[in-house]
Amino acid sequence: MQKRKNIQRFLGTLLMMVSVFLSTFDAYALPVTGIIDGADEKSVRGWALNSSDPSVPVDVKVVILNQTSGQVAAELYTTASLHREDLTEQGTGGYGFEVSVPWDSYGNGTYLIEAFAAGQKLSGTKVHGVGVTAPVTTLRSLGIFRTTAYCPCRQCSGKWGGLTSTGTIATANHTISVDPRVIPYGSRLMIGGVLYTAEDCGGGVKGRHVDIFFNTHGETRGYGSRNVEVYLVQ
Ligand SMILES: [Zn+2]
């Protein structure tokens, strides 16, 4: 009798542990999908849903990043519960979101718009300009790259000086050195809010590594080595 009770207690504990584990797992691996599919002077729009439980609307955070400074201008919160006729096949169809954006209060500049649900980044990063002609582009994240810096000095560029391997004159805030097998020459990359063009290569630049051109060696030392998200501008 005593033995059986112990087994029952053990099974009860085991069941509890499994259910706690499952609920924890569920909370961290929420299979959220969604996209930002519109941004204009008034608002940012998109949709998001939790495909493991499409009946419960997910909370969405929209992040507005100043591209020049890299600073977060605003974090806007909403719930994706607006009806979307194009998403009714996924379940309730109440997966749309729209947040008003007070662009004027952020000041002139170019802004990057990102959205997150349950800690996961939604696709469709957008660019919006305030008081500037915003580039009509799409940004596609290439993920995290190692970035370093170089200048025309002998230590950084040897006999090449300010001449790039594609024959252009290296220019600060414009030229980057890449592994052309990973990033083809001529590609435009957004890194830390600056739009660069891949027009140089280097012996030490291999794989997911971008070397950023600066005018002076002091600036390259100040930059050091940073792991940052890199966007392909299309
Ligand atoms: Zn140098």
Q: State the distance from the centre of ligand 1 to the C-alpha of 223, rounded, in angstroms.
A: 12
Q: State the distance from the centre of ligand 1 to the C-alpha of 221, rounded, in angstroms.
A: 8
Domain annotation for the chain: domains and CATH numbers? 32-134 (2.60.40), 141-233 (2.40.40.10)
Q: Decide if 71 contacts 65 (C-beta within 8 A).
A: yes
The angle formed by the CA atoms of residues 101, 102 and 107, to the nearest 5 degrees, is: 120
Q: How many distinct helices (H) and strands (E) make up the chain? A: 3, 15
User: Which residues, at least 6 apart from 227, have a Cβ–Cβ distance to it below 8 Å?
Assistant: 144, 145, 146, 147
The angle formed by the CA atoms of residues 225, 227 and 230, to the nearest 5 degrees, is: 120
**Mean pLDDT per 10-residue run, the chain (234 residues)?**
55 51 48 85 93 91 86 95 88 94 91 88 80 70 96 94 91 94 94 89 95 95 95 90
Q: State the distance from the centre of ligand 1 to the C-alpha of 189, rounded, in angstroms.
A: 22
pLDDT for 64: 95
Is this prediction's pTM over 0.75? no
Q: State the distance from the centre of ligand 1 to the C-alpha of 184, rounded, in angstroms.
A: 24
pLDDT for 23: 45
Q: State the distance from the centre of ligand 1 to the C-alpha of 84, rounded, in angstroms.
A: 54
Q: State the distance from the centre of ligand 1 to the C-alpha of 70, rounded, in angstroms.
A: 25
H/E element, 229 = strand 226-233
CA dihedral 131, 132, 135, 139 (to 10 degrees): -60
Q: Report the distance separating Cα 231 and Cα 36, nearest Å.
A: 16
3-state secondary structure of 204: coil
